[in-house]
Chain A
């Protein structure tokens, strides 16, 4: 008996949480609608803008710093364009498919989504497409039921970009080690591969190790393994480290700094100012790159508008978002070159402070 009461109470509590969640969401969007300014169609060409459509941007989950930054991007977009694009999602990745399903009946023209679990989401997106909703994805080139996917950059090219910097800093001579979060992490492995291929083609005296170091996406592990590799390298052949995962760049930097190898071993890698800022400021990390989720969010919105206006489908496309001006189309995937480079000189820019 007690158990039954308990389970009933728990059940009610769960339903209540759900309702509260939805309630606050909808009150939110009504308040946003109040502030919506109707006469904001800026362009005189008569082409419709985001203000004329009802668009939602759905992140993988709402409680990650990365997606908080995307929300910022959507807010900025709304402010700059007087639109009321909605940023909404579930706090847990697992709830995303159900959340998107809930959006279908709400009269959206377009849904921009960063899929958490492609297999769970794809059938829901099929329903959205049936309902005539434009579906734009990001970080998910394998989704079937979408109009387009927009990627910040081509991973191979991005890897080559990092290696190019190491080549420049080391005068093209020496050995380079690469780190990846896991050998199963496709983007990391491609990044390393891109770097290695670039070096083979363009820098004959730059020898990149055949196998990358695996860090488990853990700063401490990256630190230990890079330190180990540098210790074993008694002849000081290593001149560069290319890091794929966000946590590896500060890990590698800590190893280089402690061993007193700054200036001799050059680090170029992916990270964020909030994670690696200190080492960028003191110059241990000489190139830190990333893509800005805020801009990715804006690119999704712009791509949704372009799709609704019927101005897409060409091999190339230009969106009015930094880094997404020259998109190339392959299949359904538009790819930009929206990486952002940060070093000692520009790291104090507030725009990168996230």
Chain B
């Protein structure tokens, strides 16, 4: 009994991702010994911070049976508009900046929810349209110019560190305090999805909206909660991105949605909805992040880097799919 449980864990989808990650780490360390240091964790945490925030939103949306491609546009609007307004009026307040960003995200999230839940527009089309509208309005009314001089207390948040590590080579690596945001977020989402009626409801409507409705879940309400949450988090993540880069750019995040959806799917979330775990998403993000951020260390020539990233996505997802097929076959027998 115990043995079979172990076997189940060791051959689970998530463990396969772990295996790939371990192999990659060993390969990179062999090529570049500097990789096997605490500095790697700090660098990776910094590089994946915003991706992690986006990925958990996307995961929740996909579990609920939808998809959201508007979060980069929401994030761009939520980081650019507050900074523009603050610069214009000489406001300099970190808390207000995040509240403002979250509010913009909330409003756009509600628009998404109305289109998807009330007007029954397919989520992909609805969020694609909202993304375009948001980006268009942003560029028309607020401009395209990057703002590099942030209000000073907001810029100062960039230099709030939990600790600093000095590598063997003498370089300094500092862990940004903002890493606490995704950590807390993931713990909360883990608890909500696993232990609350709200969380079970999100899985239920993703699995079969009709069945969920008959079972007594308020589908519209749940969809509103999902898209509002996604909007708010995208807004906050946008502001974090702005702080980390010490610059408000209205365009930079655009185009990042597909890689994040890929990370979520590699992590075992099914596009058809109803399935997905917090741990899987973390692993998916780490795998893709590891690849994207260590190709130079791995010595992959520039021309091949995009290819390698694509290959990892395909292999990562194929494992999940193959396992799925195997399960289906077993059921038939």
Question: Once A and B bind, how many residue pairs between them come within 8 Å at the CB atom?
Answer: 94
Tell me whether A219 is interfacial, beta carbon within 8 Å.
yes
**Which residues of chain A are near B246, meaning CB under 8 Å?**
254, 278
Contact B148 A231 (CB under 8 A): no
**Which residues of chain A are near B172, meaning CB under 8 Å?**
258-260
A183, A228, A233, A275: which has the most chain B beta carbons within 10 Å?
Answer: A228
Contact B297 A232 (CB under 8 A): yes
Considering the chains assembled together, what is the distance between the CA atoms of A225 and B292 in angstroms?
9
Tell me the residues in window 186-233 of chain A with beta carbons closer than 8 Å to chain B beta carbons. Answer: 211-214, 218-220, 223-225, 227-233
Contact A232 B296 (CB under 8 A): yes
Contact B296 A274 (CB under 8 A): no
Please judge, given known A-B contacts A227-B43, A231-B297, A232-B34, whether A183 and B171 are in contact too, CB under 8 Å.
no
- Identify which of B143, B171, B294 contacts A63 (C-beta below 8 A): B143
Contact B144 A213 (CB under 8 A): no
Considering the chains assembled together, what is the distance between the CA atoms of A75 and B159 in angstroms?
42
Tell me whether A118 is interfacial, beta carbon within 8 Å.
no
Tell me whether A234 is interfacial, beta carbon within 8 Å.
yes
Stretch binding the partner chain, chosen from B120-128, B225-233, B300-308: B300-308
Question: Nearest chain-A residue to B37 (Cβ)?
Answer: A231
Considering the chains assembled together, what is the distance between the CA atoms of A232 and B29 in angstroms?
10
Question: Nearest chain-B residue to A276 (Cβ)?
Answer: B148
Please judge, given known A-B contacts A232-B296, A236-B169, A275-B148, whether A219 and B249 are in contact too, CB under 8 Å.
yes
Please judge, given known A-B contacts A220-B252, A258-B174, whether A234 and B43 are in contact too, CB under 8 Å.
no
**Which residues of chain B are near A228, meaning CB under 8 Å?**
43, 293-294, 296-297
Tell me whether B218 is interfacial, beta carbon within 8 Å.
no
Considering the chains assembled together, what is the distance between the CA atoms of A233 and B35 in angstroms?
11
B294, B302, B303: which has the most chain A beta carbons within 10 Å?
Answer: B302
Tell me whether B132 is interfacial, beta carbon within 8 Å.
no
Considering the chains assembled together, what is the distance between the CA atoms of A232 and B32 in angstroms?
6
Closest-CB distance, A195 to chain B (whole angstroms):
16
**Which residues of chain A are near B194, meaning CB under 8 Å?**
none
Considering the chains assembled together, what is the distance between the CA atoms of A354 and B241 in angstroms?
24
**Which residues of chain B are near A250, meaning CB under 8 Å?**
148, 247
**Which residues of chain B are near A231, meaning CB under 8 Å?**
34-35, 39-40, 43, 167, 169, 171, 297
Size of interface on B: residues with Cβ below 8 Å to A: 41
Question: Nearest chain-A residue to B305 (Cβ)?
Answer: A214
Please judge, given known A-B contacts A211-B302, A254-B245, A259-B171, whether A274 and B145 are in contact too, CB under 8 Å.
yes
Considering the chains assembled together, what is the distance between the CA atoms of A231 and B43 in angstroms?
10
- Identify which of A211, A213, A219, A277 contacts B149 (C-beta below 8 A): A277
Q: Interface 1/0s, chain B 157-197, versus A by CB < 8 A?
A: 00000000001111111100000000000000000000000
Tell me whether B47 is interfacial, beta carbon within 8 Å.
yes
**Which residues of chain B are near A230, meaning CB under 8 Å?**
171
Closest-CB distance, A214 to chain B (whole angstroms):
5
Considering the chains assembled together, what is the distance between the CA atoms of A229 and B241 in angstroms?
22
Tell me whether A12 is interfacial, beta carbon within 8 Å.
no
Considering the chains assembled together, what is the distance between the CA atoms of A125 and B214 in angstroms?
66
Tell me whether B310 is interfacial, beta carbon within 8 Å.
no
Closest-CB distance, B249 to chain A (whole angstroms):
7
Interface footprint category on A: 35 or more
Please judge, given known A-B contacts A219-B245, A219-B249, A220-B245, whether A275 and B171 are in contact too, CB under 8 Å.
no
Question: Nearest chain-A residue to B139 (Cβ)?
Answer: A63
Tell me whether B129 is interfacial, beta carbon within 8 Å.
no
- Identify which of A218, A234, A258, A275 contacts B34 (C-beta below 8 A): A234
Tell me the residues in window 251-308 of chain B with beta carbons closer than 8 Å to chain A beta carbons. Answer: 252, 292-294, 296-297, 301-303, 305
Contact A234 B33 (CB under 8 A): yes
**Which residues of chain B are near A276, meaning CB under 8 Å?**
148
**Which residues of chain A are near B40, meaning CB under 8 Å?**
231
**Which residues of chain A are near B143, meaning CB under 8 Å?**
63, 65
Tell me whether A261 is interfacial, beta carbon within 8 Å.
yes
Question: Nearest chain-B residue to A259 (Cβ)?
Answer: B171
Considering the chains assembled together, what is the distance between the CA atoms of A220 and B51 in angstroms?
12
Contact B302 A218 (CB under 8 A): no
Q: Interface 1/0s, chain A 274-309, versus B by CB < 8 A?
A: 111110000000000000000000000000000000
Question: Nearest chain-B residue to A65 (Cβ)?
Answer: B145
Question: Nearest chain-A residue to B33 (Cβ)?
Answer: A234
Considering the chains assembled together, what is the distance between the CA atoms of A227 and B35 in angstroms?
12
- Identify which of B144, B148, B245, B302 contacts A214 (C-beta below 8 A): B302
Closest-CB distance, A244 to chain B (whole angstroms):
13
Closest-CB distance, A252 to chain B (whole angstroms):
13
B32, B167, B245, B293: which has the most chain A beta carbons within 10 Å?
Answer: B245
Closest-CB distance, B80 to chain A (whole angstroms):
14
Tell me whether A14 is interfacial, beta carbon within 8 Å.
no
**Which residues of chain A are near B167, meaning CB under 8 Å?**
231, 234
Contact B252 A278 (CB under 8 A): no
**Which residues of chain A are near B303, meaning CB under 8 Å?**
183, 211
Q: Interface 1/0s, chain A 60-82, versus B by CB < 8 A?
A: 00011100000000000000000
Considering the chains assembled together, what is the distance between the CA atoms of A278 and B147 in angstroms?
11
Closest-CB distance, B164 to chain A (whole angstroms):
9
The residues of B with any CB-CB pair to A shorter than 8 Å are 32-35, 39-40, 43, 47, 139-140, 143-149, 167-174, 241, 244-247, 249, 252, 292-294, 296-297, 301-303, 305
Top 5 A-B pairs, shortest CB-CB distance: A234-B169, A65-B145, A260-B172, A259-B171, A211-B302
Q: 7 A-B contacts, Cβ less than 8 Å apart?
A: A63-B139, A211-B302, A220-B241, A247-B146, A260-B171, A275-B247, A277-B148
7 new A-B pairs (CB below 8 Å) besides A65-B143, A219-B252, A274-B145? A213-B302, A224-B47, A225-B293, A229-B296, A231-B171, A231-B297, A234-B167
